Amino acid sequence: MSQQRALFRCKSVSASPGALAGIVLAGITSLAASPLWGQEKEHKDTSKDKEFSVTVQGPESDAGLIVSARATAKEVGLPIYPGSIPHREQGKDDDSPAAKLGLWGSSFGFKLVVLKMESKDTPRKIADYYQNALAKYGTVLDCTNGARPQQAKDEKSEKLTCGDDKPEAGGMLFKAGTAEKQHIVAVQPKGNGAEFQLLYVEARGEKKKPA
């Protein structure tokens, strides 16, 4: 199952301290296995802002991890829908409407940015707004009805596809960008309005830290 599909099948993307801690531990474990570990370390932990980062530097390359419950529209690469507000799950005091994860090494890089919002406007109106916003990244894919049958998949292709990604029942899902840098919008009905998630997913094998 793809990373994006796992997100869309959840009711929401949670950035609670417990969830962040689990990601941090997984990231540290992977960094600890790196030959760079222990050469030079830079560690920052600001619990007030729910952010954690580790950087490991070597003579020719570096590796690092950042996990945060803070994210901005600039980082996700899409505007905030006018009049919308951050969405938090009811009954979850530690739930955050934003999350950011970055993990990089000498031969790979991964970055995920999520914003959860809600609006009193209809899902269709929000979907139309973001289809226009996504267009600056190229062709906008409507993955609402799931992926269309595809021929043999080219793993090296930079062309973006819906793949296995699809929204929850009754929702809509749109994507634009490239296979390595994806901008995604998932819209779901909520009462007389809607809740929606804005995501930026970057996964590549270049020797540089995610932006």
CA distance 186 to 10: 11
The residues facing 198 across adjacent strands are 115, 185
CA distance 115 to 68: 12
Percent of the chain having pLDDT more than 90?
A: 40
What mean pLDDT do residues 154-180 have?
A: 86
Range of the domain at 185: 3-204
pLDDT at 56: 62
pLDDT at 9: 37
Q: Structurally, how many domains does the chain consist of?
A: 1
What mean pLDDT do residues 101-109 have?
A: 81
pLDDT at 209 > cutoff 50: no
211 in a domain, yes or no?
no
Q: Return the beta strands (E) in the chain as ranges.
A: 41-46, 51-57, 62-68, 85-86, 98-104, 109-119, 141-142, 172-177, 181-190, 193-204
pLDDT at 77 > cutoff 60: yes
Closest among 40, 16, 12 to 117, alpha carbons compared: 12
DSSP sequence for 40-90? SEEEEEEGGGTEEEEEEE-SS-EEEEEEES---HHHHTSPPPTT-EE---T
53 Cα distance to chain centroid: 17
89 in a domain, yes or no?
yes
Q: What is the mean pLDDT of the chain?
A: 74
What mean pLDDT do residues 70-98 have?
A: 85
Residue 127 pLDDT grade (very low, low, confident, very high; cuts 50, 70, 90): very high
Tokens of 115: 């914003």
119 in a domain, yes or no?
yes
pLDDT at 8 > cutoff 70: no
pLDDT at 75: 94
Residue 108 pLDDT grade (very low, low, confident, very high; cuts 50, 70, 90): confident
Rounded CA Rg of the chain:
18
CA distance 19 to 25: 10
| 210 phi, psi to nearest 5 deg | -55, 145
If DSSP codes are grouped into helix, strand and coil, which group holds residue 8?
A: helix
Asked if residues 196 and 185 have their Cβ atoms less than 8 Å apart, the reply is yes
CA distance 100 to 141: 24
Closest among 114, 111, 87 to 98, alpha carbons compared: 114
80 in a domain, yes or no?
yes
pLDDT at 24 > cutoff 60: no
59 in a domain, yes or no?
yes
pLDDT at 153 > cutoff 60: no
What mean pLDDT do residues 181-205 have?
A: 93
What mean pLDDT do residues 136-164 have?
A: 76
Residue 48 pLDDT grade (very low, low, confident, very high; cuts 50, 70, 90): very low
209 in a domain, yes or no?
no
The residues facing 67 across adjacent strands are 52, 101
76 in a domain, yes or no?
yes
What mean pLDDT do residues 174-181 have?
A: 95
